[in-house]
Amino acid sequence: MLPAPDQDGTAGRLHLAFLASPLAVRDSLARMLAAQPLRSLSPDARGTAEIVLAEVLNNLEEHAYPDGPGPVSVTLIPVAGGIHCLVVDHGLAMPGGKLPEGKLPAVETRLERQPEGGFGWHLIRRLTRDLTYVRTGGSNRLSFLLAQDG
């Protein structure tokens, strides 16, 4: 079982720590969406938040911890205009020490060439603002803003 979210009622911020596996990512998303600050967003903005957080956490689970589940923490802080998100893990650094470009695969009419992946960073970049990645002291720190209006 995952620990209950550590929620600070006055500031409405949420801090959640867990071991990243596909099922833990799913469970953590459900917890985050059911709690403040995401709970108060419009349905559209909540949908956007779920897409972004799912892509960030799935990428991390797959690439930062390729050998098995590792620790990750998510902090969500309500700020003017949206929610500031900080995601920290202690796994492998991003290749080249920077975020993937997130270039969308070309739309292909030829069936065999149609893309089955490469969508994740495009979605993250399209749906966030102020996306920042820092590798420091063996940790990956990804921060971004989820806009209130989705």
Q: Does 103 bind other proteins (CB under 8 A)?
A: no
Q: Does 66 bind other proteins (CB under 8 A)?
A: no
How many helices and strands in the chain, by DSSP H and E?
3, 6
Distance CA 80, CA 77 (A): 10
Nearest alpha-carbon partner for 37 in 61, 19, 64, 10:
10
Site residues (CB under 8 A) for other proteins, limited to 16-45: 22-23, 25-26, 43-44
Residues 6+ apart with CB under 8 A from 4: none
Instruction: Among 114, 134, 139, 149, indicate the residue that binds other proteins (CB under 8 A).
Output: 114
- Nearer Cβ to other proteins, position 18 or 77? 18
Residues 6+ apart with CB under 8 A from 38: 14, 32, 46, 49, 76, 83
- In the complex, least distance from residue 107 CB atom to other proteins, rounded to whole angstroms: 5
Distance CA 128, CA 49 (A): 9
Residues in contact with other proteins, shown as a per-residue x/- string from 119 to 148 under the rule CB under 8 A: xx-xx--xx---------------------
Rg from Cα positions in the chain: 16
- Nearer Cβ to other proteins, position 114 or 132? 114
Applying CB under 8 A, the residues found at the interface with other proteins are 22-23, 25-26, 43-44, 47-48, 50-51, 54-55, 58, 61-62, 104, 107-109, 111-112, 114-117, 119-120, 122-123, 126-127
